[in-house]
A and B are shown apart, each in its own frame.
Chain A
Amino acid sequence: MSAPSIANQITKRPWLKKMMMPLANWYANAAGYRKLGLRADDLIPEESETVLLALKRLPQKEAYDRVFRLRRAFQCSLSHQLLPKEQQTKPEEDTPYLSPIIAEIEAEAKERVDLEAMTISKKR
């Protein structure tokens, strides 16, 4: 799921983050998903084992809300309409709810691989 990203490097440096934020907000708004009532994490492609597992681990309420947002967005897309302004996703609502779980699963998988590839040396 995770494409190479420099977001981490940017958020680590407050001055750089301050510079980039207006640009990031402009981009997110221009991408148009917020006008369909979606969140950024709704756009993550589901076709991978990791994301499927992460979706299973979502709390019930979150999973329900996600499906609701997706269906509403499909309807809007079919009828070539945008949601009324008050129903569109506000920037402060656009929080990552799925990507932390995905990161956790990826960390687990990485740990497993690391442990499996570990070489053991005897104490001298």
Chain B
Amino acid sequence: MISRSAIARNAQLGLRRQCCAQPASRRGLAAAALSGSTSFSYESADVSGVKVASRDVAGPTTKLAVVAKAGTRYQSLPGLTTGLSEFAFKNTLKRSALRITREAELLGGQLISYHTREALVVEAKFFKDDLPYFTELLGEVVSQTKYTAHEYHEEVEHVIKLSQQALQGNVSELAINSAHGLAFHRGLGAPLYPTASTPLSKYLNEESIHQFANSAYSKPNIAVVANGAAQSELTKWVGEFFTGVPSSAAPLSSETSKYFGGEERIPHGSGNSFVIAFPGSSSFTSGGDYKPEIAVLAALLGGKSSIKWSPGFSLLSKASSSFPGASASTTHYSYSDAGLLAMQFTGSAQAIRGASTEAIKAIKTIADGSISQEDFTKAVANAKYRALEEGQNIEAGLVATGAGLVQGGKAFQIEEVGKAVQGVSIEKLKAAAKALLESKATVSAVGDLHVLPFAEEIGLTV
């Protein structure tokens, strides 16, 4: 017999669904109509020399960023980019750092500045209504910061020293920095934060930072990107508040990246990290050199499982699952004119040794073509998801778009990326893996060098 209560509950649920279905969908449409386009692509424009891009997504908050082509790749002296990003929101000609902080707090805003290898980002998050205030603030930070000596000595220098120490203790960061250095030597090879042994006092002071700022924050070198602001509003306010930005300073430039490769071993007392890297593909926004098969290869190698309670389908996680204590991950670092496909192993030295050997074998199986169609489909789906998520992710989308605009004048277009990844065939993947094995690898080991393998021992040519 079916109990009465069970029937009643099902009936209730059914009823609820019926009556809720329609209003919910109606509301969705209404919201979309209110906020204009909810497309995930950016509209870009040029406001008296400053590139502006925005996407008007629904919601009460806005994220506004100035993306400058002034990452560590473009710094003329070590540490300049870090120094400049620490100098954001300090005393300006119009108001003090304290006032900026308090005003932003009162409006409920958040101010952040950070840098990547290619871009320097000065960012504000706030309520949609406060767009004029924060556009003015960013314009002021970019063009009117004072770069005083006492702020440098009392605040900036101190933070840089702390970040140096933090980097010194972080083996995985050290290994990635070392891999970049090996792969690209100068430019992209510069460490993301000054290493502990960089003689900062020789290169870094408020004057050198000020000089760097003049060229870093010049009109052709920056893009203003907003998420959650109407294009018309943004162009209006940028036109008003970014007039003080110098238009033609000496532009920052860096040589075209060239891949070198090699091996470096750094002894370290706390923790082990092992990076095997190969030349990758440049980012989507760069245009021509974009190779989606590298992204698929990165997903296929994987390492970190994307679902729970299972090592996942990826080759590295399978390889490292038999070596407890090692964890592997594959990251594809893509830049405007080069890329680095890096497999990173962390954990105990012995386990890393075993897992890395297995990983090289796994790449060889891809190159041989003995990879199952099912794994390939999974990898394509995963790579596509990751690319699209990155575009939808506000943070990454902002930086990617800004960098794309400043570098080559192309915004991040999410639909096209999805299509490109979907179009990868298994033959292309095979060819890509083969090309990797034939090229010179980049291997960097940080930690217990007695146990960590040499490149030659795991079957790589360096």
What are the residues of chain A within 8 A of B150 when measuring CB–CB? Answer: 56-57
What are the residues of chain B within 8 A of A43 when measuring CB–CB? Answer: none
Binds B, one of A64-72, A85-93, A107-115: A107-115
The SS class assigned to the A binding surface is helix
A111 to B98, CA, bound (A): 8
- Cβ of A45 within 8 Å of any chain B Cβ, yes or no, is no
- Cβ of A59 within 8 Å of any chain B Cβ, yes or no, is yes
A115 to B96, CA, bound (A): 12
Q: Is the CB of A115 within 8 A of B149?
A: no
- Cβ of B102 within 8 Å of any chain A Cβ, yes or no, is yes
Q: Is the CB of B149 within 8 A of A57?
A: yes
A108 to B99, CA, bound (A): 10
> Given contacts A57-B149, A57-B150, are A108 and B98 in contact (CB under 8 A)?
yes
Q: Is the CB of A120 within 8 A of B96?
A: no
Contact size range, B: under 10
What are the residues of chain B within 8 A of A115 when measuring CB–CB? Answer: 98-99, 102
- Cβ of B29 within 8 Å of any chain A Cβ, yes or no, is no
A113 to B150, CA, bound (A): 21
A115 to B101, CA, bound (A): 11
Minimum CB distance partner of B97 in chain A: A108
Q: Which of A56, A108, A115 has the most CB of B within 10 A?
A: A115
- Cβ of B106 within 8 Å of any chain A Cβ, yes or no, is yes
A115 to B102, CA, bound (A): 8
B227 vs chain A, min Cβ distance (A): 26
Question: Of B96, B106, B149, which is within 8 A of A111 by CB?
Answer: B96
A60 vs chain B, min Cβ distance (A): 10
The SS class assigned to the B binding surface is helix
Q: Is the CB of A112 within 8 A of B106?
A: no
A64 to B153, CA, bound (A): 18
Minimum CB distance partner of B148 in chain A: A57
Q: Is the CB of A108 within 8 A of B96?
A: yes
A115 to B103, CA, bound (A): 10
B285 vs chain A, min Cβ distance (A): 41
Minimum CB distance partner of B106 in chain A: A120
> Given contacts A115-B102, A120-B106, are A59 and B149 in contact (CB under 8 A)?
yes
Near B by CB (< 8 A), chain A positions 11-60 give: 56-57, 59
A56 to B149, CA, bound (A): 11
What are the residues of chain B within 8 A of A120 when measuring CB–CB? Answer: 106
What are the residues of chain A within 8 A of B153 when measuring CB–CB? Answer: 56-57
Question: Of A56, A57, A59, A111, which is within 8 A of B99 by CB?
Answer: A111
B102 vs chain A, min Cβ distance (A): 5
Contact with A along B117-158 (1 / 0, CB 8 A): 000000000000000000000000000000001100100000
A61 to B153, CA, bound (A): 16
What are the residues of chain A within 8 A of B149 when measuring CB–CB? Answer: 57, 59
What are the residues of chain B within 8 A of A111 when measuring CB–CB? Answer: 96, 98-99
Instruction: List 4 tightest A-B contacts by C-beta distance, closest first.
Output: A57-B150, A115-B102, A112-B98, A111-B96
A-B contact pairs, 16 of them (CB 8 A): A56-B150, A56-B153, A57-B149, A57-B150, A57-B153, A59-B149, A108-B96, A108-B98, A111-B96, A111-B98, A111-B99, A112-B98, A115-B98, A115-B99, A115-B102, A120-B106
Q: Contact residues of B with A, CB < 8 Å? A: 96, 98-99, 102, 106, 149-150, 153
